[in-house]
Chain A
Amino acid sequence: MPPPPKKPATEPPPEPPELPESRPNSAPGLESYRREQRRRFLKGALASSGLALGAGWAALAPPGFPLSLRDPTGELGKPRPSSLRLPEGGYAVAPRLGAADLGIAHGSQLMPMLRAAIDAIGGIQHFIQRGDVVLLKPNVAFERAAALGATSDPELLGALVALCREAGAAEVRVADNPIESPEACFARSGLQRAAVEAGARLFLPQHADFRELLTPGAALIERWPFFARPFSGVTKVIGLAPVKDHNLCRASMTTKNWYGLLGGRRNQFHQDIHGIIADLALMLRPSFVVLDGRRVLHRSGPTGGSLSDVKAGHTLVAATDSLAADAYGWSELLERRDEPLPRYFALCAERHLGQPDYRALRLAEVRLG
């Protein structure tokens, strides 16, 4: 409330200083003094009532009025994180006519196997066009040497970066949010070196890089902190995952791999590990995935730690349907075809997020030397 404006006092409260005796009744001097006092008073009154009016407006004007700060319920003062959405339909590319859904290459030489597997599903040129910004998502979860099979293979990452660049990608990015210290995980696994040497741009998570991602329809992560910075401007996403035993969800392959893009309280998801994997399949629709069955962590997963936990699989799988790739990995690489598929396969299939019966799809299997 502005104070009631007072009439300017005709006489200023303090007595004017004694005027020099030599100029008694010096009207001009007294007059100018009074004028000055009046002006000072008016200025002060104007400023203080202006301040009071402004403060009153900010505090009392109804919410929504310009410059109003009024918040009667306390709701307006809460933080409102702006949420992010990934493009509609994800990063999927329409399949090429006649291409297989699952490209499977057996052999021992990486590059020919990788080319053969990708060619079978349409070829790298089909997925990556000139000018694309491609994000590669390896699994860097733990600080382990690559040979221990707990992380993606650096050679595969390097080869995939090279293929993308060959296909004309403007920029290839590599990003993951590991469980252990990101720098150490990327360094120890060799993925940092492989990425940088192949000319990719590496994104290590910083705490400011996470934004809330909106995934409509997700059961657990409809709104969840997401490693957003590497996604700005991205046009294609490729996942590359090792084949790993997993204590809780039984197998961690290409679908579980997207877990590394989440931030926040991830450790709660073990209470519904199959539910979160189904949500991950919904959250991120990749351009394609590569399942690296050359090393199979067949027990003590997902961390491993001993070479005896790893066996050679001599296989690479490229697929547009990551669930089918995982199902193939379950049967043929982990060799658990006699056991029922983990529950997340059924959950994903219910939502039409993939085909767990990979034999019903078009397979192209190539054997190289």
Chain B
Amino acid sequence: MSKAPPKPASKAKRRLPLLQPNRDGTPFYTRTLRITNVRVLSQVFFFALFVFLLMTTWFSRIGGYPVSLFLELDPLVGLATALSTHTVYRWLWRGLLVLIPTLLFGRVFCNWLCPYGALHQFIGFIFNIGSNRDHIAANRYRPIYQLKYYILAVMLVLAAFGSLQIGLLDPIALLVRSFTVSVMPASDLAVTGLGRELAERGLEPELSPLLSAPGAADARIFDGAIFVGLMLLGLVAMNLFIPRFFCRVLCPLGAMLGVLSRLSLWRIDRDPTRCTDCDLCLKGCEGASDPQAALRKSECFVCFNCIDDCPEDALSFKLTPPPLSAHLVGSLKDGSARLFGRPLKSQILGTENAGPAVPRRRWILASLGGAVAYPFMRLSKAVGARGFHEKVIRPPGSVAEPEFLERCIKCDQCLNVCPTNVLQPASLEKAGFEGLWTPVMDFSVGFCQLNCALCSEVCPTGAIQKISVEKKLGLGEHEDAGPLRLGTAFFNRGRCLPWAMETPCVVCEEVCPVTPKAIGTYDESIVRWDGERVTLNRPYMRPELCIGCGICEHECPVIDDAAVYVTAVGESRDPGRTLLLDSARQRKKG
């Protein structure tokens, strides 16, 4: 059938399968031009856009693209940072755009825009094979679906206190992080491996458009990629046990939109004079929102599958449908019930449950939980002003640590754009639970490139404030303020080749990018153990010139525990962490 014979002769009979009329004689477009198909197109489009913007988050590609668009459109990011900082940073007002369709139609975001939702739905579509009965059972509402509301309440209360944790589970932040830290580096390995294989067979494929980090001399690595990756894999795999597990059970953004969708003007409406209680509407119900009974508006993803699946045409999407009880005449029990003169077929009268199925006291309990969790987090050693980890070195432009934790959503966009791979997701050991997966610099992997401030450009929440290269380097109008310092470099003379091993080196001095160099050398001529005379350039640090970029640590040949290393002390973002007396005056001298 697919092999098309000469067309003109049989044009009338043989049409593309897509264009064949339906069995009941209606034209093909009543089948193909369905709103559910439009929805699938929308999901494909937004998922593709999401991946495209992630691939664009790179030095040579970023141009003027709004690479953090999805994070900015996420109203939970806007709301939670507004609670924690009492401000709305840069583009975060864009979250209001998502509220418009939510207040009109309900949680359309979840099934029309959200790339993470699309991923879960797609996995279920491919792997959840079963009978109608299985699907109907899997899509019934379960009490566990309340959990997301508790998560939302805990996270919003935490945010109000100043500890932003929504990023752990916010679907967009989670997906950006998973792609950045795990998926795209893995795909880079696959693409370069493929390119190498092809090159060995004499082909020269240009595969760099497929790379998320083209022109990076080393494959990117990320600390703890396995855990971020496992979180993605685990949550995706949960679809096999509960369809849309993440969306129904965990998603705090879905919970927020669910709370708001009680106000939505349109909703799915069931006509009990047609409904025969067959439950087929549950077959493809993405949100487990009980379309066969009283619709749970807060759970409905507005996927429209129920309307498609209803054999009786009893379901429709309506503007403010009225409650039925007022118009019901007669009694259900004796079968005399009538609605607008028509007899009722359905035995179920309920029409809608507008709000989430969460009793008020439980809202209060969850909020109390958040209030208690806050001190637990903030008093942890790793995040306090005292006892911080010396290797929690934040990107240039970062605000001081307490404010940083009010803003960072762990989306790891900054990691994605970093050209040297120095930005790494912080481990529990470095940044504690509160700072888990926030960006820190690891100079054994990369270094902070001098003329680069891309991380500050892509940060959606201002944890890394947008800065210019001039501000970073303290040039022009920023001369008085001096350069931004990320930390200070120190020498470990016990491991330094010229100091401890009579061996010439000074790579650190060579690569030091500031002028004049922050690393000087004592040039000494010594007689080595074997009698040979060697000149050693023994390096020392001029701390008032050091900006903590870490290129010395990165290039130090003592690669496992570098002989020159940067720690956070002296970072200019926090006046409480200075190293030198009167840093400002020292800077001017330099």
Instruction: Give me the interface of A with B, judged by CB distance under 8 Å.
Output: 142-143, 177, 179-184, 186-188, 204-208, 229, 232, 246-248, 263, 265, 267-268, 270-273, 300, 302-306, 309
Given that A206-B215, A208-B192 are known contacts, is A143 also in contact with B512, CB under 8 Å in the complex? no
Q: What are 15 A-B residue pairs whose CB atoms fall within 8 Å in the complex?
A: A180-B420, A180-B551, A181-B419, A183-B215, A186-B215, A204-B214, A206-B192, A206-B215, A207-B216, A247-B506, A247-B509, A267-B507, A270-B507, A303-B511, A304-B515
Asked if B503 CB lies within 8 Å of chain A CBs, one says yes
Complex: chain A residue closest to B202, CB-CB:
A232
Determine the distance from Cα of A181 to Cα of B449 in the docked complex, in whole angstroms. Answer: 8
Q: Is the CB of B216 within 8 A of A247?
A: no
Given that A184-B452, A270-B504, A271-B503 are known contacts, is A248 also in contact with B537, CB under 8 Å in the complex? yes
Q: Is the CB of B556 within 8 A of A267?
A: yes
Q: What residues of A have a CB within 8 angstroms of the CB of B516 in the complex? A: 300
Determine the distance from Cα of A306 to Cα of B513 in the docked complex, in whole angstroms. Answer: 10
Q: Is the CB of B59 within 8 A of A270?
A: no
A232 partner, pick from B193, B204, B512, B555, beta carbons under 8 A:
B204
Q: What residues of B have a CB within 8 angstroms of the CB of A302 in the complex? A: 510
Asked if B137 CB lies within 8 Å of chain A CBs, one says no
Determine the distance from Cα of A265 to Cα of B556 in the docked complex, in whole angstroms. Answer: 10
Q: Is the CB of B557 within 8 A of A267?
A: yes
Asked if B199 CB lies within 8 Å of chain A CBs, one says yes
- What is the interface of chain B mostly: helix, strand, loop, or mixed? loop
Q: Which of B180-237 contact A (CB under 8 A)?
A: 192-193, 195-196, 199, 204, 208, 211, 214-219
> 16 more A-B contacts (CB under 8 A) besides A143-B452, A304-B515?
A143-B449, A143-B450, A177-B217, A181-B59, A181-B420, A204-B214, A204-B215, A206-B192, A206-B215, A207-B217, A207-B219, A267-B555, A270-B507, A271-B497, A300-B515, A305-B515
Q: Chain A nearest CB: distance from B113 CB in Å?
A: 32
Asked if B37 CB lies within 8 Å of chain A CBs, one says no
Q: Chain B nearest CB: distance from A202 CB in Å?
A: 9
Determine the distance from Cα of A179 to Cα of B506 in the docked complex, in whole angstroms. Answer: 15
Determine the distance from Cα of A187 to Cα of B521 in the docked complex, in whole angstroms. Answer: 32
Given that A206-B215, A270-B507 are known contacts, is A306 also in contact with B515, CB under 8 Å in the complex? yes
Q: What residues of A have a CB within 8 angstroms of the CB of B452 in the complex? A: 143, 181, 184
Determine the distance from Cα of A270 to Cα of B505 in the docked complex, in whole angstroms. Answer: 5
Determine the distance from Cα of A42 to Cα of B452 in the docked complex, in whole angstroms. Answer: 72
Given that A188-B451, A247-B537 are known contacts, is A206 also in contact with B217, CB under 8 Å in the complex? yes
Q: What residues of B have a CB within 8 angstroms of the CB of A204 in the complex? A: 214-215
Determine the distance from Cα of A366 to Cα of B516 in the docked complex, in whole angstroms. Answer: 37
Determine the distance from Cα of A177 to Cα of B450 in the docked complex, in whole angstroms. Answer: 18
Q: What residues of B have a CB within 8 angstroms of the CB of A182 in the complex? A: 215-217
Q: Is the CB of A270 within 8 A of B214?
A: no
Complex: chain B residue closest to A180, CB-CB:
B449
| Interface core residue of B214, B451, B503 (most chain A CB under 10 Å) | B451
Q: Chain B nearest CB: distance from A318 CB in Å?
A: 28
Asked if B60 CB lies within 8 Å of chain A CBs, one says yes
Determine the distance from Cα of A181 to Cα of B554 in the docked complex, in whole angstroms. Answer: 13
A270 partner, pick from B218, B450, B506, B512, beta carbons under 8 A:
B506
Complex: chain A residue closest to B220, CB-CB:
A207
Q: Is the CB of A268 within 8 A of B208?
A: no
Q: Is the CB of B517 within 8 A of A263?
A: no
Asked if B379 CB lies within 8 Å of chain A CBs, one says no
Q: Is the CB of B511 within 8 A of A179?
A: yes
Q: Chain B nearest CB: distance from A311 CB in Å?
A: 15
Q: What residues of A have a CB within 8 angstroms of the CB of B557 in the complex? A: 265, 267-268, 270-271
Asked if B559 CB lies within 8 Å of chain A CBs, one says yes
| Pairs A-B, 10 closest by C-beta atoms | A305-B515, A204-B215, A181-B419, A208-B192, A183-B215, A208-B196, A205-B217, A306-B515, A267-B557, A207-B219
Q: What residues of B have a CB within 8 angstroms of the CB of A208 in the complex? A: 192-193, 195-196
Q: Chain B nearest CB: distance from A36 CB in Å?
A: 33
Asked if B372 CB lies within 8 Å of chain A CBs, one says no
Q: What residues of A have a CB within 8 angstroms of the CB of B526 in the complex? A: none
Determine the distance from Cα of A303 to Cα of B199 in the docked complex, in whole angstroms. Answer: 35
| Interface core residue of B195, B217, B511, B555 (most chain A CB under 10 Å) | B217
Complex: chain A residue closest to B551, CB-CB:
A180
Q: Is the CB of A265 within 8 A of B559?
A: yes
Q: Chain A nearest CB: distance from B116 CB in Å?
A: 30
Q: Is the CB of A247 within 8 A of B208?
A: no
Determine the distance from Cα of A143 to Cα of B59 in the docked complex, in whole angstroms. Answer: 13
Asked if B500 CB lies within 8 Å of chain A CBs, one says no
Complex: chain A residue closest to B194, CB-CB:
A208
Q: What residues of A have a CB within 8 angstroms of the CB of B515 in the complex? A: 300, 304-306, 309
Determine the distance from Cα of A303 to Cα of B552 in the docked complex, in whole angstroms. Answer: 13
Complex: chain A residue closest to B497, CB-CB:
A271
Determine the distance from Cα of A184 to Cα of B211 in the docked complex, in whole angstroms. Answer: 16
Given that A187-B59, A248-B510 are known contacts, is A207 also in contact with B192, CB under 8 Å in the complex? yes
Determine the distance from Cα of A345 to Cα of B420 in the docked complex, in whole angstroms. Answer: 34
- Per-position binary interface string of chain B over residues 534-568, scored 1 when its CB falls under 8 Å from any chain A CB and 0 otherwise: 00010000000000000100011101000000000
Q: What residues of B have a CB within 8 angstroms of the CB of A206 in the complex? A: 192, 195, 208, 211, 214-217
Q: Which of B374-392 contact A (CB under 8 A)?
A: none
Asked if B514 CB lies within 8 Å of chain A CBs, one says yes
Q: Is the CB of A183 within 8 A of B419?
A: yes
Determine the distance from Cα of A306 to Cα of B503 in the docked complex, in whole angstroms. Answer: 30
Q: What residues of B have a CB within 8 angstroms of the CB of A273 in the complex? A: 504
Q: Chain A nearest CB: distance from B242 CB in Å?
A: 40
Q: What residues of B have a CB within 8 angstroms of the CB of A263 in the complex? A: 217
